[in-house]
Amino acid sequence: MSTDGTLTPDPSPAERERGGLPHAGRGEGTVTDTLNRPLRDLRISITDRCNFRCTYCMPKEVFGRKYRFLPRNEVLSFEEIARLARIFVGAGVEKIRLTGGEPTVRRDLPKLIEMLARIDGLQDLTMTTNGSRLVYMAEALKAAGLNRITVSLDSLDDAVFRAMNDADFPVSRVLEGIEAAAKVGLSPIKINMVVKKGVNDHSLVDLARHFKGSGHIVRFIEYMDVGNSNGWRLDDVVPAAQTVAMIDREFPLEPLGPQYRGEVASRWRYQDGSGEIGVIASVSQPFCRDCTRARLSADGKLYTCLFASIGRDLRPLLRSGKSDGEIAAFLAKVWSVRRDRYSEQRSLDTPGLRQKVEMSYIGG
C-alpha cells in the first residue's frame, strides 16, 4: 500500500499492456475488439430466477410475485448452451463461469456441467452461487466436472445478511455450504462481498478475519450501478482503497501483481503469509481496457459489457439451422466492433449509457 493509503497494485493496467502479461491459458486468440481486447472469458446465465432478493441485484419491489420471468421455451436448453460454449471456446474463450440468477435453482445442473467439462480446449469451468444449496449439491457439482466455485456472502452478521438477501436466509447455512464445497475440492473458493456504505461496510474486516488463513480468497466489490432497479448512488460506494486501508490497519497487507491479463480483482496478500484478498474497483478504478469478458443471458442474448443496454440474440441462429461456422462468424463480427468501456465513461452524461440490462439477467 502507498503511504497515502491509495490502491496501488503492481503493475498498473498500462504497464500490463506494455509488458504483455500472459492470458490464463493459450496465447493470443483470433478474435479481438476495437481496443485489441481478446475474447477469453464467457459468463453464462443459465436462469434468470433466484431464491434471494438481494437489494443491490433483485430488489423485491421490482422482482416481486407479479414479475414475469422467462418462460421455459425461451430459456436455452443444455444442448444449446453446450453448443454455444464450444463455439466460444473455438473463438478463444478459455474460462466459462456459470451464473444466474442463481444457477443452482436450474434443474439437473450437474448434467450441464458434465457437458461443458468435456469441451476440448476449455481451461477453467467455474460457477458463482449464493451458496444456499451447496450443502447438498457440492459433491455432485464436483463429480460432474466443476473446477472451482465463488460464493456471494455480504456479511457474517446474520441480521445484516438476512436484510441484504431479503429472503430471511441465515448466514450459517451459507457457511455450511462453503465448508461442503471445500471438503469436496471445489477450490480455491472465492468469497464475494458487495460493500455498500452504511449497510455492511462495518463488517468487512470481520469477513476478512473469518477467512484469513483458510485458503479461501475474499474479494470486496464496490457497489455498482448495474441495471436500473437497485437505486444506486455514488454516495453509497465504499472505494476499494478505503476497504484495503481498513483491513490493512488490522492485518498488514502488501500488493500482488495480476496472474493474467483481464483479471478483474486487484490482489493483496497478508504480510504474515496467511493468504490473500482481492478488491474489485469497477467504480473508482475502472479496468475496462483489459476486459476480456462476454456474457450470455439465459435466453441466448450476447452482451459484451456488464453495463450494456442491448444484447445480440443468438437463439434464432441456434433454432433456425445455422451452422457452427455461421454462428462463429456472427460472434466474431459482434466482438470485432466492440468498444465498451462503461466504467471509464460512468461520469459522462451519455444517453446511450442510461438504460442497462439487469444483473440478474446476465450475471455479475
Helix, strand or coil, per DSSP, at residue 343: helix
Comparing 244-253, 304-313, 322-331, the range with the smallest average pLDDT is 304-313
Q: Is 209 helix (H, G, I), strand (E, B) or coil?
A: helix
Question: Is the separation of the CB atoms in 360 and 58 below 8 Å?
Answer: yes
The predicted-structure confidence for 43-91, as pLDDT tens digits, reads as follows 999 999 999 998 888 888 888 888 899 999 999 999 999 999 999 999 9
pLDDT-based confidence at residue 286 (cuts at 50, 70, 90): low
Give the Cα separation of 269 and 267 in Å (integer).
Answer: 7
Q: Which three cell numbers stand for residue 77?
A: 436448453
- Provide the whole-model pTM: 0.86
pLDDT score of 346: 56
Helices (H) and strands (E) in the chain, counts: 12, 12
Q: For residues 356 and 363, give the distance between their C-alpha atoms in angstroms, rounded to a whole number.
A: 13
Residue 196, SS3? strand
Cell readout for 18 is 506494455
Q: State residue 26's pLDDT score.
A: 44
CB 218 within 8 A of CB 152: no
pLDDT at 1: 41
Three cell numbers at 203? 463488517
Q: Is the pLDDT of residue 158 over 50?
A: yes
Return the pLDDT at 360: 62
Phi (first) and psi of residue 267, to 5 degrees = -100, 140
Give which of 191, 196, 199 is closest to 175, Cα–Cα: 191
Whether the pLDDT of residue 23 is over 70: the answer is no
335 class by beta-carbon count within 10 Å (0-12 exposed, 13-18 middle, 19+ buried): buried
Query: How would residue 362 be classed by pLDDT, with cut points 50, 70 and 90?
Result: low
Joined grid coordinates for residue 87: 463455439
Beta carbons of 282 and 224 less than 8 angstroms apart: yes
340 against 293, higher pLDDT: 293
Residue in this structure with the C-alpha cell 466460444, named with its chain if needed: 88
Instruction: List Cα–Cα distances, 320 to 198, 314, 335, in angstroms.
Output: 50, 10, 22
Please tell me the predicted confidence (pLDDT) of residue 344.
54
Confidence band of 252 (pLDDT split at 50, 70, 90): very high
Q: Give the pairing of strands 217-222 and 190-195.
A: parallel
- Single-letter amino acid code for the residue at 19: G
Averaged pLDDT of the chain: 85
> pLDDT-derived band of residue 341, with 50, 70 and 90 as boundaries?
low
Q: Are 97 and 68 in contact (CB under 8 A)?
A: no
Between 181-190, 240-249, 252-261, 353-362, the lowest mean confidence (pLDDT) is in 353-362
Report the 10 Å Cβ neighbour count for 80: 15
Q: Strand, coil or helix: what is 27?
A: coil
> What's the pLDDT score for residue 282?
77
